[in-house]
Chains A and B, each alone.
Chain A
Amino acid sequence: DAGVIQSPRHEVTEMGQEVTLRCKPISGHDYLFWYRQTMMRGLELLIYFNNNVPIDDSGMPEDRFSAKMPNASFSTLKIQPSEPRDSAVYFCASSPPGRVGVETQYFGPGTRLLVL
C-alpha cells in the first residue's frame, strides 16, 4: 500500500491567495483526519471525517478554512484567503474501520505551507 498521500509537499504562497491541500487516504480506511502542526501550538486536530461525513470540525480555526471529502479516496483542505499565521505543516491521517479516534492513525508526509 502506498500509504496516505498528500499534495503538494511544499507550498509557498502570498497572503490573500487561496491554498488547496489534497489528501488520498489508505484504501479501505473510513476515518480521515486533518491536522496542523506549528512550534507554538503543537499538533492540532482541525477536522475529521467518518465515511466522508464530518464528525468534529471544532478545531477549524475560522471561516477561512474549509474541508471536504467528496468520496472515500479524496479530501481537500482549503484556506481562503491565506494569512502568514497559517504557515505550518498540515498532516492528513487515516485509520481503518472500527478504530475510532486516536487508535492506529496513519499519517501522510505532510504539506509544508509558507504564506508570505
Chain B
Amino acid sequence: GQSLEQPSEVTAVEGAIVQINCTYQTSGFYGLSWYQQHDGGAPTFLSYNALDGLEETGRFSSFLSRSDSYGYLLLQELQMKDSASYFCAVLSASKIIFGSGTRLSIRP
C-alpha cells in the first residue's frame, strides 16, 4: 500500500530551528510537497521537491532523498506565527496522498 509517516506533534522554542520529517512508501513517486495549516484555516503551499536535495524559501527549507523515501521541512528562526499544522503530501502514480499532519507548538 501507499503511506506517509510524520510525527503527530513537535514542540520548539521561539527563535530556534525545528525539523519535521516525512517518510513515504509509494509506487511511481513524482514529488513531495509541504503545506501549512493554521487552526480554522485552509492549507497553504510551502514547498515542493521533485529532485534530491534542499530547496530554500526564506526561513523555510525542504529536503528530499528519493533513495531513502524521506523528506523533511526545516523551519528556522521560529516565530509564534509558525504555530500550525504541517502536512507532507506526495504524488504517486496519479494518486495524491497527504500525511496526517504534524502539529507544531512554539514556546516563547
A interface: dominant SS: strand
Interface size grouping (class) on chain B: 20 to 34
Quote the shortest CB–CB distance from B9 to chain A (angstroms).
14
**Does A56 have its Cβ within 8 Å of any Cβ on chain B?**
yes
- Beta-carbon contact of A43 and B45 below 8 Å: no
- Beta-carbon contact of B33 and A102 below 8 Å: yes
B interface: dominant SS: strand
**Does A12 have its Cβ within 8 Å of any Cβ on chain B?**
no
In whole angstroms, what is the CA distance A106 to B95 when docked? 18
Given contacts A103-B31, A103-B48, A110-B42, contact A45 B96 (CB under 8 A): yes
- Beta-carbon contact of A105 and B45 below 8 Å: yes
- With an 8 Å Cβ cutoff, the count of chain A residues facing the other chain is 22
Contacts of B95 in A (CB 8 A): 56, 58
- Beta-carbon contact of B42 and A43 below 8 Å: no
Interface residues of A (CB under 8 A from B): 33, 42-45, 48, 55-56, 58, 91, 93, 100-110
